[in-house]
Amino acid sequence: MTGRARVRAPELVGRGGWINTGGEDLSLADLRGRFTVIDFWTFCCINCLHVLDELRPLEERYGDVLTVVGVHSPKFEHEAEHDAVVAAVERYGVHHPVLDDPELTTWQQYAVRAWPTLTLVDPEGYIAAQFSGEGHAHALAAILDELIPVHEAKGTLRRGNGPYVPPEPEPTTLRFPGQAIALPGGTFLVSDTGNHSLVELADDLETVVRRIGTGERGLVDGGPGEARFNEPQGLALLPPEFHPWTDYEVVVADTVNHVLRGVRLADGQVTTIAGTGRPWMQGDPNGEDVGGDPRAIPMSSPWDVVWSPADLTVVVAMAGIHQLWAFDPKEPSIEVFGGTTNEGLVDGKLREAWFAQTSGLTVTADRTLWLADSETSALRAVRDGAVETAVGTGLFDFGFRDGPAGQALLQHPLGVTALPDGSVAVSDTYNDAVRRYDPATGELTTLATGLREPSGAVVDGEHLVVVESAAHRLTRIPLGAAATASGSAHRTQRPALDVAPGDVELVVVFEPPPGQKLDERYGPATRLTVSSTPAPLLTAGEGRDTALTRRLTIAAGDDGVLHVAAMAASCDDGGENAACHIHQQDWGIPIRVVAGGTSRIELVLSG
């Protein structure tokens, strides 16, 4: 990291102001003498949430010399609202200062191209490294271990506490609940996500019957007083005929633990039934490559689960890698059900379709599997082994509009619920609304507005019990209710990249961290996959190869999104038992094709 031109880090500027600083504004001058990791994130992004988890051990290990600063850079309109950012900071346990930058001012100053991006600033205020995507905590640790002695010797490092000031906690029974299901006895089981537990509520939706889990983050099996969860979300009740083969009735998507848990309702016993506790990364087995115990297969942020009578499996919304998986509780076994791990909105055969952070699942009486694809603000259906999109157009289009499916719009929906008449209710989370889609008419209407980030719902007779996640409660609304959508349409605030038509050079920069080398034991250590939406945008250069440089040909007059996925493998330079690491990132880059635009696109995976 020495002998190179040093680049001064731009100032941290955001109209929304600072969170977790006790009301004080911060500047880079205030951080001088400490290392600073600037985390560009947005709270809709599952990969950003993965990085928050990766940074926690670094914050603890290097707390006397390192400050992590989040720069919240919104994708959706709702994410530009300051109160929503404040809630998200609490929801996801962010224990460092956060700058609310709704206009992406600092994002542009740092030339960021993707969520998440990490920039390391040294104690003198210069950029030391930049990373895009997940899996870089070990690289940051290696660079810090190299540079801490350097700055200590120069006298430019000061040790001590950082500027984080925790907010005052607000006591509530539930905290950012995720999903709810009705239990046979007339009560409701709720994933109390912010309290890392499950809660059984009485029919009045307020009285606590029991709590399952200690309320502390962790992955611990056992009874209700010792089990631990980590931001659980989806819940599914198995049919009675499966109980002879399992000692649990409820399957829980324990999202941040990257596992499925089974819960025995009689005594609240919790058991891990699938997943290893670490996130799935490219190169890991996915259930097709390795048979046997599903607890030996890594998973990635399972967000929702639903029983599918057509397949006699629990379908899992694997939000972290944009796939659907299928868990068979009888075998038991787990395998990929649909998706390629590419993020986007591509219909077709299940195994060839692209999903985008699927977060909600339901099955209607005709055995159609419906799913809410949150990042494309889409409602989609799986029938006869194929995927169809009912509502939604792409990664960067969203809004709040009723009408025929072709013109209707949602904004980052997290839940979908089968209704008795064959239609589905959509928890339209970032529009603070519940919508209804009728497949018979192809119309999207609005059932209720004024809800606070609804994330799921369950039918209760003539009512819908809605999980108001940001209001920390469950609310009943009549199924026959009606409201009006605002009629708005939006595109992400993220600026498009002006690209020249014709030949364009794409370069992904990857540099192994200090003390590591490329892992070429089994062949090339890098991989690059390129595609576009719409497909005619790229006339040459799409597909997969091992080189991180690619010559593209861009069609004149076509705007769209360039999809780039890069992966690199490295190993510690320390013998045959050295630890190895995967670095990966997907970029969805909105581009505008104009004469005079750039003919070179440079993306940093690690450098």
350 and 313 share a domain?
no
Is the pLDDT score of 291 beyond 60?
no
Q: Give the residue-averaged pLDDT of 313-339.
A: 95
371 and 308 share a domain?
no
Angle between helices 137-154 and 46-61 (to 10 degrees): 40
Q: Express each pLDDT in 511-557 by its tens digit.
A: 888 888 988 877 898 999 999 888 899 999 999 999 999 999 999 87
441 and 586 share a domain?
no
Is the pLDDT score of 573 beyond 90?
no
Is residue 330, in this structure, part of any structural domain at all?
Answer: yes
The residues near 504 (Cβ < 8 Å, ≥ 6 apart) are: 551, 552, 553, 554, 598, 599, 600, 601
53 and 188 share a domain?
no
User: Which domain does 476 fall in, by range?
Assistant: 342-493
Q: Express each pLDDT in 238-269 by its tens digit.
A: 998 877 789 999 999 999 999 999 999 999 99
CA 13, 15, 16, 18 dihedral sign is positive
**pLDDT reported for residue 360:** 98
Domain boundary among 430, 461, 493: 493
Q: Could you give the CA distance from residue 179 to residue 415 in angstroms, rounded to a whole number?
A: 8
Q: What is the DSSP letter of 492?
A: -
CATH number of the domain residue 451 falls in: 2.120.10.30
CA distances from 401 to 78, 166, 411, 446, 485 (A): 15, 39, 10, 9, 5
Q: For residue 290, name the pLDDT band (cuts at 50, 70, 90).
A: very low
Q: What is the DSSP letter of 574?
A: S
CA 270, 276, 277, 282 dihedral sign is negative
Both tokens of residue 138?
């070990």
Q: How many domains does the chain have?
A: 4
Q: Give the residue-averaged pLDDT of 373-377.
A: 96
Is residue 87, in this structure, part of any structural domain at all?
Answer: yes
Q: Taking Cα atoms as reference points, which of 130, 178, 134, 580 lies closest to residue 341?
A: 134
Distance of alpha carbon 294 from the chain centroid: 23
Is the pLDDT score of 4 beyond 70?
no
406 and 553 share a domain?
no
Both tokens of residue 220?
């611990």
Is the pLDDT score of 1 beyond 70?
no
CATH number of the domain residue 98 falls in: 3.40.30.10
Q: Give the residue-averaged pLDDT of 411-416.
A: 98
Domain boundary among 309, 341, 373: 341
Residue with tokens 């509502």: 391
Q: For residue 575, name the pLDDT band (cuts at 50, 70, 90).
A: low
The letter for the amino acid at 329 is: P
Sheet holding 333-338: strands in order across?
Answer: 302-308, 313-318, 323-328, 333-338
Percent of the chain with pLDDT over 90: 79
Burial of 257 (0-12, 13-18, 19+ CB in 10 A): buried
Is residue 503, in this structure, part of any structural domain at all?
Answer: yes
For residue 45, list its beta bridge partners. none
Q: For residue 287, name the pLDDT band (cuts at 50, 70, 90).
A: low
Q: Give the residue-averaged pLDDT of 165-178.
A: 94
**pLDDT reported for residue 493:** 66
448 and 562 share a domain?
no
Q: Express each pLDDT in 58-76 by its tens digit.
A: 999 999 999 999 999 999 9
Q: Give the residue-averaged pLDDT of 315-327.
A: 96
Q: Express each pLDDT in 100-157 by its tens digit.
A: 999 999 999 999 988 999 999 999 999 999 999 888 999 999 999 999 999 999 999 9
**pLDDT reported for residue 245:** 84
Sheet holding 269-274: strands in order across?
Answer: 232-237, 250-254, 259-264, 269-274
Is the pLDDT score of 88 beyond 60?
yes
**pLDDT reported for residue 2:** 43
Q: Under a CB-based contact definition with an 8 Å cutoff, are residues 363 and 369 in contact?
A: yes
Is residue 283, in this structure, part of any structural domain at all?
Answer: yes
Q: Could you give the CA distance from residue 325 to residue 251 in angstroms, rounded to a whole number?
A: 14
Is residue 159, in this structure, part of any structural domain at all?
Answer: no
Is residue 162, in this structure, part of any structural domain at all?
Answer: no
CA distances from 213 to 162, 192, 270, 272 (A): 32, 10, 9, 13
Is residue 221, in this structure, part of any structural domain at all?
Answer: yes
332 and 414 share a domain?
no
Q: Could you give the CA distance from residue 174 to residue 105 in angstroms, rounded to a whole number?
A: 35
Q: For residue 588, name the pLDDT band (cuts at 50, 70, 90).
A: confident
Backbone angles phi, psi at 78, to 5 degrees: -60, -35
- 268-302 burial, b at 16+ Cβ within 10 Å, e below that, comes to bbbbbbbbbeebbbeebebbeeeeeebbebbbbbb
Domain boundary among 322, 341, 360: 341
501 and 466 share a domain?
no
State the chain's mean pLDDT as an integer: 93
Q: Under a CB-based contact definition with an 8 Å cutoff, are residues 445 and 456 in contact?
A: no
Backbone angles phi, psi at 150, to 5 degrees: -65, -50
Is residue 470, in this structure, part of any structural domain at all?
Answer: yes
Burial of 160 (0-12, 13-18, 19+ CB in 10 A): exposed
**How much of the chain is in helix, strand and coil states, percent to nearest 5?**
15, 45, 45
Q: Under a CB-based contact definition with an 8 Å cutoff, are residues 51 and 116 in contact?
A: yes
Q: Give the pairing of strands 127-132 and 348-349.
A: unpaired
464 and 560 share a domain?
no
Is the pLDDT score of 482 beyond 80?
yes
318 and 185 share a domain?
yes
Count helices and strands (H / E) in the chain.
5, 43
Q: Under a CB-based contact definition with an 8 Å cutoff, are residues 425 and 419 in contact?
A: yes
232 and 285 share a domain?
yes
Strands (E), 184-309: 188-192, 197-201, 208-212, 232-237, 250-254, 259-264, 269-274, 302-308
Q: For residue 607, name the pLDDT band (cuts at 50, 70, 90).
A: confident
**pLDDT reported for residue 241:** 85
Q: Under a CB-based contact definition with an 8 Å cutoff, are residues 78 and 399 in contact?
A: no
377 and 522 share a domain?
no
Q: Give the residue-averaged pLDDT of 209-227.
A: 98
Q: What is the DSSP letter of 168?
A: P
